[in-house]
Structure 1
Amino acid sequence: MSFDPARRLAAEALGTLALVATVVGSGIMGAALSDDTAVSLLANTIATGAILVVLITLFGPVSGAHFNPAVTLVFALRRELPWAQAGAYVVVQVAGGIAGSLLAHAMFDLPLWQVSTTLRSGTGQWLAEIVATFGLIAAILGGLRFRAEAVAWLVGLYITAAYWFTASTSFANPAVAIGRAVSDTFAGIRPADVPAFVLAEIAGAALALAFFGWLLSPQSGTRAAAAE
């Protein structure tokens, strides 16, 4: 099934909006219901992993369900997405991410426009974002190679786990980082810390593309033997 560019862009915008609204909204709800940071993070984690499964299943056939400029970059570098369309994807993803934060604020009767004051900086945080994005791209590429129908679950489960094993709580997404910068809530990140996160996420995506591009490509002799 093929969808025209307008529908693909609409899917990317709405999907990223829903993703960030879930991340920010569940963070607000978790913090409101518990003074225990671990409980709030658990609520944030479950909601994020669950919505990813839903959004990827729903929008995957329309746009590929990237919702993430790092993922879009990988598919453009793999020549599976034209660069012009990739650029448009990134624009609507970032716009959708910002809109998602505003929607979450509106649902909880908070000021719409905010600037986060949450410090997220340092080599550990940056390394965590490299690792988080590397793993996300690995889940996507490996899933597409071996179990395409399982990609939604692979991504949802990976992000659920990465919330807890990475120091940064696994943003792994430049559009999400930008969207969370305009929310001074549980899920926020200071705008000053966003550029380093974005660079780390791009680095993690590039490393994953290089490594898994090699790992998942059989040798020519193996291909010939399989054909026989």
Structure 2
Amino acid sequence: MIDLPRRLTAEALGTGLLVATVVGSGIMAGTLTKDVALALLANTVATGAIIVVLISTLGPISGAHFNPAVSLIFALRRELPVRDAGLYALVQIIGGVLGAMVAHAMFALPLLQASTTVRSGGGQWLSEGVATFGLVATVLAGIRFERKNVPLLVGLYITAAYWFTASTSFANPAVAIARSITDTFSGIRPLDLPGFVAAQVAGALIALTLMSWLLRGPAGGELPINPEDRS
């Protein structure tokens, strides 16, 4: 296994680049067009693309979680020590905040901002629960059946979830926290963070519960890859 400092660096770097892409592409889109749908499409394509790249390149080092909810799930599955999961979450948050600041710097904006974008209410919270549920389900099933395609699967899922959820699919507590310090296209008001984070954690836990049952084989282990071996 790769040593912890390098894994933590990969998690911080990956989350930072992810947030820089989300925030930066949102700023660029908002600068180039006043069409909100077109701006969201640009934001979506950039985010989906960078996810594929980051998981493909950094996954072999740290597992490419870039998300405290995902690290929590792997800790609960006993595939990541609890201490490491806590450190993963810490560096993911730090990396995400730095990523937002770098995006601001690239566009000559104040490095730290308080977002004024309201994202609250039952529909938004449900959307975040659904978005994170789907993300975790995609990761767990993808690792089991299509490991080599996980980067593409996650990138495609997030691309789709941008459009079928009312919240545009943050699905990540670290990203949500980082987006609270940008008063740009992708921002979220700090006051709305607790509801988003709670919904994300709930969605992740529900996905873990369901997928643990769904992927369980007849003898209690995971399902075999060959469909003909299943009963």
TM-score by length of 1: 0.97
Counterpart secondary structure, 1:208: helix
- Counterparts of 1:49-68 in structure 2, within 5 Å, are 49-68=48-67
Give the Cα–Cα distance (whole angstroms) in 2 for the partners of residues 178 and 220 of structure 1. Answer: 42
Aligned to 2:36: 37
Aligned to 2:194: 195
Give the Cα–Cα distance (whole angstroms) in 2 for the partners of residues 4 and 56 of structure 1. Answer: 18
Gapped regions of structure 1 (runs ≥ 5): none
Aligned to 2:137: 138
- Counterparts of 1:34-183 in structure 2, within 5 Å, are 34-183=33-182
Shift of 1:113: 1.1
Counterpart secondary structure, 1:220: coil
Give the Cα–Cα distance (whole angstroms) in 1 for the partners of residues 229 and 115 of structure 2. Answer: 54
Post-superposition Cα deviations, 1:98-153, rounded to whole Å, max 9, x if no partner, equal: 00100000000001110100000000000000000000001100100101000000
Shift of 1:221: 8.2
Which residue identity does 1:78 align to in structure 2?
R
Give the Cα–Cα distance (whole angstroms) in 2 for the partners of residues 187 and 87 of structure 1. Answer: 26
Counterpart secondary structure, 1:115: coil
Which residue identity does 1:159 align to in structure 2?
I
- Counterparts of 1:206-225 in structure 2, within 5 Å, are 206-220=205-219
Give the Cα–Cα distance (whole angstroms) in 2 for the partners of residues 220 and 3 of structure 1. Answer: 32
Which residue identity does 1:160 align to in structure 2?
T
Shift of 1:90: 0.4
Shift of 1:165: 0.2
Counterpart secondary structure, 1:80: coil
Which residue identity does 2:95 align to in structure 1?
G
Post-superposition Cα deviations, 1:41-82, rounded to whole Å, max 9, x if no partner, equal: 000000000000000000100000000000000000000000
The number of residues matched between the two structures is: 226
Counterpart secondary structure, 2:117: coil
Counterpart secondary structure, 1:203: helix
Post-superposition Cα deviations, 1:18-44, rounded to whole Å, max 9, x if no partner, equal: 000000000000000000000000000
Shift of 1:217: 0.9
Which residue identity does 1:3 align to in structure 2?
I
TM-score by length of 2: 0.95
Gapped regions of structure 2 (runs ≥ 5): none
Shift of 1:226: 4.8
Give the Cα–Cα distance (whole angstroms) in 2 for the partners of residues 91 and 171 of structure 1. Answer: 18
Post-superposition Cα deviations, 1:154-203, rounded to whole Å, max 9, x if no partner, equal: 00000000000000000000000000000000000000000110000000
Shift of 1:219: 1.3
* Residues 1:106 and 1:219: Cα distance change in structure 2 (over 3 Å): same
* Residues 1:121 and 1:59: Cα distance change in structure 2 (over 3 Å): same
Post-superposition Cα deviations, 1:200-219, rounded to whole Å, max 9, x if no partner, equal: 00000000000000000111
Aligned to 1:22: 21
Which residue identity does 2:11 align to in structure 1?
E
Which residue identity does 2:178 align to in structure 1?
G
